[in-house]
Amino acid sequence: MTSRRRVVITGLGIVSPLGNCLEDTWAGICSGTSGIAEITRFDTDSFKTKIAGEVKGLDPLAFVNAKERRRMDDFIIYALAASEMALRDADLTIGTRNAERVGVILGSAIGGLTTIEKEKETLLSAGPGRLSPFTVPAVLANLAPGQVSIRFGAKGPIGCAVTACASGNSAIAEAFRTIACGYADAMITGGTEAAVAPLAVAGFGAMRTLSTRNDEPRRASRPFDRDRDGFVIGEGCGIIILEEMSWALNRGARIYAEIAGTGSTSDAFHMAAPPPGHEGAARCMRLALQDTGMEPSEIDYINAHGTSTALNDVYETEAIRTVFGEHSRRVAISSTKSMTGHMLGAAGGAEAIFSVKAIQEGVVPPTINLDNPDPQCDLDYTPHQARHREIRAAMSNTFGFGGVNSVLIFKKFEG
């Protein structure tokens, strides 16, 4: 662990249900604003769930031209937009001198679902000859990092993590290891998703995992609350720029925080449900702590997976108690999904940004809608309002279908 290279965060970019830039999204998080509203993308009359965390007001033509717009699914456009913002925030220019040392690893749980639905309708109504030749490139999950690499000229390692709701964290963890082991000096990484589509809403609805609190959309996502009735699907993209520490310092980069370590485990239990006590998540948090060489007492904030589903919230609480012991009563915890909804493969990227901003500004984001805490969820979830406190280290949890667990730990940068 002592010989690996240190990795820092120098740029942040985000498209979310709370805003189409870092400033607007973070302001919404700190003020406890909900980005959940009625679905506008399609007619929901026959759907039990009629609400989602949609990206609102993003002008795709600010990031791609009209021809590209027709050829790309929204999850790719979100990735291009957030990557442009993050690179600009990092003041990082990719050129002939550094292109081969800059890579891209992004996560997406589903990929181009909207394009799949649209082109399937074309196939059935007009026949195979009418399908766009760009159908497949718009659908494949790895075309998000592919298009980002093409757009910005990043010729280093490239990859795509597809680990359900842990995809964003999985991508960041792999990007971190890529730099730490010397295969690249900078990485564009995070997660992207655009799955507010009929098939996703109907499919998750059939699993009975979605909230149906349609008359109160802003109160529908309520992690750790006794009256929660499921998660709210969200969308967007969160991108962070990772750089090897000396590489960043030599070019005079502003450093937000350091990524200290990661953990990854499998439950090997069930395709969708966590095991009792969330043993896999507890093991993953322990591995992340071991990877950093830190003690549980050194973590000041946990951005919980906190989906607002019955099992996840209880079992994640039990896992935190298992790992943190007495410190579990002192560590500040929150679920920002109470405001963004569950951004699926984009969640890890967005929540990494929130964790980094929490460290930078000394702000613990709130868990809104926590009106009646579940007695089984008895830790400090920062209800309703953000809280100011020094945060030296933050943990970000993501868990996904298939039993995948991914944990990131960020800490305040000390040169």
The residues that are catalytic are 165, 305, 342
Look up tokens 């059935």; give the residue: 124
What gap in Å lies between CA 28 and CA 19, rounded to an integer? 8
Query: For residue 33, which phi and psi values (nearest 5 degrees)?
Result: -90, 140
Asked whether 148 and 104 are in contact (CB, 8 A), the reply is: yes
Q: What angle do CA 190, 339, 402 make, to 5 degrees?
A: 50
Is 323 in a helix, a strand, or coil?
helix
Asked whether 82 and 239 are in contact (CB, 8 A), the reply is: yes
Dihedral of CA atoms 222, 110, 105, 152 in degrees, nearest 10, equals -110
Which residues sit opposite 52 in a β-bridge? Answer: 37
Half-sphere CA count of 222, side-chain side, radius 13 A: 19
Q: Which two tokens stand for residue 232?
A: 């709210």
Residue 266 to residues 71, 220, 275, 402, Cα–Cα distance (Å): 36, 29, 11, 8
Query: For residue 352, which phi and psi values (nearest 5 degrees)?
Result: -65, -40
What gap in Å lies between CA 344 and CA 308, rounded to an integer? 13
